[in-house]
Amino acid sequence: MTEKISALRSLVSKLNAQYSGRFANAILGTAGLKVANMLLTVLTGVALARMLGPDNYGIYVFVFSVIAVINIPISAGLPVLVVREVAKYRCDGAWSKIKGLVAVSNYYLCAYLCFVTMAFYLYVDEVVENKVLVLSFGLLMLPFLGIASLRMAVLRGLNHAVLGQIPESLLRPLVLLSALVACYIFAYEVDPMVALQANLLAVFVAFVLGIYFLIRVTPTSVKNSQPEYELGRWTKSLLPLMMFAVLKNVDLQVSYLFLSVLSTNTEVALFRVAMQGAILISLALSILNVVLAPYVVKFHHSNDINALKLIVRRSVNAAFIFGLCLFSFFCLFSEALLNLVFGKDYNDASVVLLILSFGQLVNVAMGSVALVINMTGNERYSYQAMAIGLITNISLSYWLVPEYGAQGAAVGALLSIVIWNVVLAIVVYRKIGIKTWFGRMADV
């Protein structure tokens, strides 16, 4: 036991000397950007809602909902693959494969956007009628959004996580808010088209800065190399990663679907409000995951399992302490908090908030299971575990929502989170030998 503790201390000292400064700076930078993005998003949301009014704001939300759905084949899976492969190739010095991966990703993006454009102009008249013009303008953002997601993934893989987030997390909402403020100062009427034009401006400015960052930090070896391709392996990995992302998105939305069909609009609102609070429990883990990804790839690829165990355990412990403090706060003051922020009409969301918060606390306690499983090439297990969780959520929601409303939906969401997290934690331990869950450092 004494030898194990001594070895652990030696490993901690080694990691602190090599990585702690950069890792800590990346975490602090990501946390700062996350908070700034949340604040700017709230301010722009309030400004848009007030300036557009309910009807026009509904059109605006519709356009972005369509864009989000269309963007799924780009945002679901591909960025995760790019982060993992770029980080691995960076460790190996395989610069030509990084260039080949980026090239193939861009070809895929162009092909998909051509397909979307043709499908839109062939069938959109039958679907959205009077919203064609604003939707057409909104779709102009798709190329910039797609390239932005790939650019962020490449920068994360190159271990520039903070730099990769600045354009989208900070500059884009700041430009949008500035444009709305300018419209207000000069008494310029804002309708859905103007709002989308402001968004397009913000997306374009962020796009330009992001490309500048990418050009600036891309190694000269990548720029001067001839692209090499591993199409078979990339495709084989991409499909399960996409399935995992799609299933996770469906799992997040299935509760709203069952509440809308089998319960009342009030229950939908209660669940929505509770979910907005509960998701804060996993805020620290989501911040750490952004920074952690290239380190997981590096340590696994170099077979430095002890370093991988240590960095994963330290991350989950820090995230769990934050989540536990926030969960305890919700347990004591949930009703008062809901009344203060949303009003007394939402006091009934208190129990729902606690159920969902406990699920998120379990999510945090199990650690970065999905990240580790996907970054170590075991992605086929992630979508299988998520499928089990989704089936559980659907079954319980169908059974519980008609009688218990938002509380029943929360139970379904809770068990779904617990099941897929526990399954993946077991898989990670058996396949890689890592205990991702919260625990003593001596037990790594």
Give the pLDDT band (50/70/90) at residue 301: confident
In a domain, 272, yes or no: yes
Tell me which of 59-73, 156-170, 314-328 is least confident: 59-73
Residues 246 and 160 in one domain: no
Residues 158 and 263 in one domain: no
In a domain, 2, yes or no: no
In a domain, 442, yes or no: yes
Tell me which of 126-135, 303-312, 371-380, 396-405 is least confident: 126-135
Residues 36 and 61 in one domain: yes
3-state secondary structure the chain: CHHHHHHHHHHHHHHHHHHHHHHHHHHHHHHHHHHHHHHHHHHHHHHHHHHHHHHHHHHHHHHHHHHHHHCHHHHCCHHHHHHHHHHHHHHHCCHHHHHHHHHHHHHHHHHHHHHHHHHHHHHCHHHHHHHHHHHHHHHCCHHHHHHHHHHHHHHHHCCCHHHHHHHHHHHHHHHHHHHHHHHHHCCCCCCHHHHHHHHHHHHHHHHHHHHHHHHHHCCHHHHCCCCCCCHHHHHHHHHHHHHHHHHHHHHHHHHHHHHHHHCCHHHHHHHHHHHHHHHHHHHHHHHHHHHHHHHHHHHHHCCCHHHHHHHHHHHHHHHHHHHHHHHHHHHHHHHHHHHHHCCHHHHHHHHHHHHHHHHHHHHHHCCCHHHHHHHCCCHHHHHHHHHHHHHHHHHHHHHHHHHHCHHHHHHHHHHHHHHHHHHHHHHHHHHHCCCCCCCCHHHC
Residues 210 and 242 in one domain: no
**Mean pLDDT across the stretch 95-103?**
94
Residue 199: give the domain boundaries.
21-229
Residues 159 and 265 in one domain: no
Q: Tell which of 214, 229, 244 closes a domain.
A: 229
Tokens 């999905």 found at: 370
pLDDT at 8: 46
In a domain, 5, yes or no: no
Domain count, the chain: 2
In a domain, 334, yes or no: yes
- pLDDT surpassing 70 at residue 434: yes
The Cα 40–Cα 271 span in angstroms is: 24
pLDDT at 86: 93
Give the pLDDT band (50/70/90) at residue 123: low
Residues 181 and 301 in one domain: no
Residues 92 and 123 in one domain: yes
Residues 365 and 419 in one domain: yes
In a domain, 173, yes or no: yes
In a domain, 16, yes or no: no
* pLDDT tens figures, 180-230: 999 989 888 888 888 889 999 999 999 999 999 999 999 999 999 999 999
Tell me which of 55-59, 152-156, 161-165, 286-290 is least confident: 55-59
